[in-house]
Amino acid sequence: MAATSVVVLDRGNNTTCTINLHGATVVSWRVNNQEQLFVSKQAVFDGKKAIRGGIPFIFPQFGPWTIGPQHGFARIIRWHLEKAPERLASGDVEAVFSILDTDFTRSMWNYPFRLTYRLILREKELHFNIAVYNPSKDLTFSFNMLLHTYFKVPDVRRCQITGLQGCTFIDKTREGAVYQEVRDVVTINEWTDRIYQNTPQEHIITNVVSGRKMRIQKYNFPDTVVWNPWVDNAKDMSDFGDDEYPNMVCVEAGHVSSPVILLPGTAFEASQILQVM
What residue spans define the domains of the chain?
A: 6-152+230-271
Separation CA 96–CA 82 (nearest Å)? 5
How large is the average pLDDT for residues 233-246? 96
Is the separation of the CB atoms in 163 and 223 below 8 Å? no
Mean pLDDT of the chain: 97
pLDDT at 187 over 80: yes
Section 216-221 average pLDDT: 98
How does pLDDT run across 82-138, given as a tens digit for each residue? 999 999 999 999 999 999 999 999 999 999 999 999 999 999 999 999 999 999 999
Residue 1: pLDDT band (50, 70, 90) is very low
DSSP 150-175: EEE-S-GGG--EES-TT-EEEEGGGT
User: What letter represents residue 55's amino acid?
Assistant: I
Query: Is 35 considered catalytic here?
Result: no
Percent of the chain, pLDDT > 90? 99
Please give the distance of CA 88 from its chain centroid, rounded to a whole number: 24
CB contact at 8 A, 251 and 149? yes
Catalytic residue among 22, 71, 203, 252: 252
Return the closest-CA partner of residue 132 out of 145, 119, 148, 149: 145
Confidence of residue 4 (pLDDT cuts 50, 70, 90): low
Give CA–CA dist 161/128, Å, rounded.
Answer: 21
52 is in an annotated binding site: yes
Query: Which of the four CATH numbers 2.40.40.20, 2.70.98.10, 3.40.50.720, 3.50.50.60 does domain 6-152+230-271 have?
Result: 2.70.98.10
Q: Count Cβ atoms below 10 Å from residue 210 Cβ, excluding itself.
A: 11
**3-state class percentages of the chain: helix first, strand second, coil last, to nearest 5:** 10, 50, 40
Active-site residue identified among 71, 148, 203, 255: 148
pLDDT tens-digit readout, 8-44: 999 999 999 999 999 999 999 999 999 999 999 999 9
Distance of CA 6 to the CA centre of its chain: 17
Is 61 annotated as a binding-site member? no
Asked if 148 is an active-site residue, the reply is: yes
Instruction: Answer yes or no: is 34 a known binding residue.
Output: no
List of E strands, 37-110: 57-58, 80-87, 93-100
The half-sphere exposure of 39 on its side-chain side, counting CA atoms within 13 A, is 18
Span between the terminal Cα atoms of the chain, in Å: 32
Interatomic CA distance for residues 219 and 98, integer angstroms:
20
**Count of C-beta atoms within a 10 Å radius of residue 45:** 17
In the 8-state DSSP scheme, what is residue 51? P
Q: What is the radius of gyration, based on Cα positions, of the chain?
A: 18
pLDDT at 2 over 60: no
Percent of the chain whose pLDDT exceeds 70: 99
